[in-house]
Amino acid sequence: MRAWELDKFGLDNLTLVEREKPTIGPTEILVQLQAASINPRDQQIVSGHFSQDVNFPLIPLSDGAGTVVEVGNQVSRVAIGDRVTPLFFPNWMDGDAHSGERRISGGLETQGVLRDFGVYSEDAVVAIAEHLSFAEAACLPCAGLTAWTSLVPIANITSANSVLIQGTGGVAIAALQFAKALGATVIILSSSDKKLERAKRLGADHCINYVDVPNWGEKVFQLAGQGVDLVLEIGGTGTMENSLAAIRNGGHIAIIGYVAGADMGVSVFPLIIKCAHLHGIATGNRENYAAMMNFIEAHGIQPEIGKRYAFNDANKALADLEHGTHFGKLVIDYQL
Ligand SMILES: NC(=O)c1ccc[n+]([C@@H]2O[C@H](COP(=O)([O-])OP(=O)(O)OC[C@H]3O[C@@H](n4cnc5c(N)ncnc54)[C@H](OP(=O)(O)O)[C@@H]3O)[C@@H](O)[C@H]2O)c1
């Protein structure tokens, strides 16, 4: 089978190799992978900026989708022919992660999806909504679930609520699609007017260019009446102060990303004055992932793919993510 392997940190050390097709144990399944998507974390893992604790050679990328082609003799949850996506955290089934549930993640502590075949525990996959292609389903295990966890299990967003979404990348556009299907009012930020036009076509109610309006927090507060119910905090450095200005009293901030830096450096006073709820988000568990997949099916949602690449061009996709020109997800389609 084809696989991309990283021998040491650096994109130039990611090479396309031929490997034996893996074999399965009694409770495992073999999945023929058909698509993968890229998250910033994958790019950071490859460059060595995410963790130094990597067992080389590593097959990168956490998020993929494919068909079950073999099952072990004790497997009962999954059948040959099922279309599935592996979980981002293969051991986190439900509830909070109190012990080792988040110790293993795809494409870091265990081999990733950038290969033709992967072995998974029968418990570590979820069936794909029927209307989704493999490329669309591959957008969901990390970015999709992170958006869903923030909106529904954390903030219980409904049509009575308003949400601020930062940026137009993978998490942001999944959040826009879910929030609109939930009936919420959405305010979205981008550095690009062209991307904002695209977000508007997907249903965004209000668009703000965060370069033209650096103090966007106050504007968001006014657009939402008395502040938004939820902010999906993607920026990190420089955005938290605005996010606190944007929320209503008692509002929620889902702390997701650090695209502008990891140091938030804010005063405690706006937190206290607003009685703000801050929630660290770590993707999510299988129970919520399955609920998200049901919601996607019920609403016919199709994840937004910014660009598709052939399997042999996976390294180009990783390089492109860093350039930040994309909208939605970058996907590697193994059939191209
Ligand atoms: N905690 C978790 O479980 C979790 C899960 C997934 C991702 N993440 C993290 O969340 C972040 C986003 O992930 P992603 O997959 O959506 O990445 P992505 O597809 O690369 O998108 C990044 C987005 O960030 C926006 N952005 C950059 N600087 C900004 C700023 N100063 N203010 C507001 N927006 C800004 C950009 O918007 P424009 O191009 O429109 O300007 C871009 O669309 C990353 O840091 C990632 O590591 C965390």
pLDDT, tens digit, 9 for 90 and up, residues 160-201: 999 999 999 999 999 999 999 999 999 999 999 999 999 999
DSSP letter string, 117-144: EEEEEGGGEEEPPTT--HHHHTTIIIII
Both 168 and 244 in one domain: the answer is yes
Ligand 1 center–CA 234 separation, angstroms: 5
Ligand 1 center–CA 28 separation, angstroms: 34
Number of domains in the chain: 2
pTM here is 0.97
Residue 290 lies in a domain: no
Query: How does 170-209 read in b/e, with b if 16+ C-beta sit within 10 Å?
Result: bbbbbbbbbbbbbebbbbbbbebeebbebbeebebbbbbe
The number of the ligand 1 atom at minimal distance from the alpha carbon of 149 is 3
Residue 147 lies in a domain: yes
CA distances from 9 to 42, 57, 103, 197, 316 (A): 12, 10, 21, 38, 16
Residue 294 lies in a domain: no
Alpha-carbon distance of 13 to 32, in angstroms, equals 25
Residue 46 lies in a domain: yes
Alpha-carbon distance of 103 to 328, in angstroms, equals 28
Both 269 and 186 in one domain: the answer is yes
Residue 217 lies in a domain: yes
Largest separation between any pair of C-alpha atoms in the chain: 60
**CATH code of the domain covering residue 37:** 3.90.180.10
pLDDT exceeds 90 at position 254: yes
Find where tokens 């801050």 sit. Answer: 278
Ligand 1 center–CA 24 separation, angstroms: 36
Both 89 and 54 in one domain: the answer is yes
Residue type for 124, please? A
Q: Is ligand 1 within 6 A of the CB of residue 234?
A: yes
**CATH code of the domain covering residue 157:** 3.40.50.720
Q: Range of 93's domain?
A: 2-139+303-333
Both 169 and 193 in one domain: the answer is yes
Q: Is ligand 1 within 6 A of the CB of residue 149?
A: no
Residue 298 lies in a domain: no
Q: Is ligand 1 within 6 A of the CB of residue 40?
A: yes
pLDDT in tens, 1-46: 999 999 999 999 999 999 999 999 999 999 999 999 999 999 999 9
